[in-house]
Amino acid sequence: MAICTFALMELQFYKYQGTGNDFILVDNRPLLFSKNDTKLVAALCDRKFGIGADGLILLEEHPTVDFTMVYYNADGNISSMCGNGGRCITHFANFLGIIDTTATFEAIDGLHETKIEDGLVHLKMQNVTEIQQEKEFTFLDTGSPHHVEVVEKLSEFDVFTKGRSIRNNRYGKTGANVNFVEELSENNFAVRTYERGVEDETLSCGTGVTAVALAMHASGRVTSEKVALQQPGGTLQISFSKTEEGYKNVFLIGPATQVFKGIITV
């Protein structure tokens, strides 16, 4: 009788969070992690039976810049750009000694410049040239697609039900992230986000607050080119330059924290 054997591997990982948006970080420069194993990624991100995270990020070699960022949503699928993940991988690269305080890395949406200054990570996002403004919402892509909608009494708002409905019914199978916004004071907004791929509200979304800041400026709700966004997981800042072509020099600014490291058998 043939005996089937399965090779197991001990995977070293690092757990990070950026204003409550949490990730599993793996140094995959040796290319030992199977990038096509979506079931494994989903299992690792599972909060009951795995490590638990909003997503998993691989740091890999790049031929010309400092490193490559490969990002997976919690459902195991390769995803669009993750801003908080970009800040966390910058901290991780610094921790590993790959970079000092500045870096350039490649993500799924192209190259990003980043720096660590005064304990905060400043991540340069892509330029935004197209913003779709409707009566009830604004839609734009800041590395990931985002629906931005202003509401009242955000703390009592049913983000999960309303967000899931918009994500699926308006944007179909591909979906979009859905951000609900309430103005707190001048240049200061509260944001809650339903994220596709996680399929739930998250404590923070970097591309989401970037989208909110630009949407609020485009709609005339703010005139400053620096906006503070308060989320359940903490506050992030967005700075940008408005030009005739759209928005350039867009920076997502906030903390990134290594929570713990460990080894799991996979």
181: β partners: 150, 191
Q: Residue 15: what are its φ and ψ, rounded to 5°?
A: -100, 130
Distance CA 178, CA 197 (A): 12
Q: Is 45 a catalytic residue?
A: no
User: Cα 175 from chain centroid?
Assistant: 16
Under a CB-based contact definition with an 8 Å cutoff, are residues 201 and 77 in contact? no
Distance CA 206, CA 189 (A): 14
Q: Is 205 a catalytic residue?
A: yes
- Which of 4, 45, 82, 88 does the annotation list as catalytic? 82
- Which of 4, 45, 88, 205 does the annotation list as catalytic? 205
Q: Residue 173: what are its φ and ψ, rounded to 5°?
A: -60, -40
Q: Classify burial at 44, counting beta carbons within 10 Å of its beta carbon; exposed 0-12, middle 13-18, buried 19 or more.
A: buried
Among 118, 155, 138, 146, which Cα is nearest to 237's? 118
Q: What CA–CA distances, in Å, run from 46 to 11, 15, 75, 163?
A: 16, 13, 9, 21
Residue 244, CB half-sphere, CA atoms under 13 Å: how many?
0
Catalytic residues: 82, 205
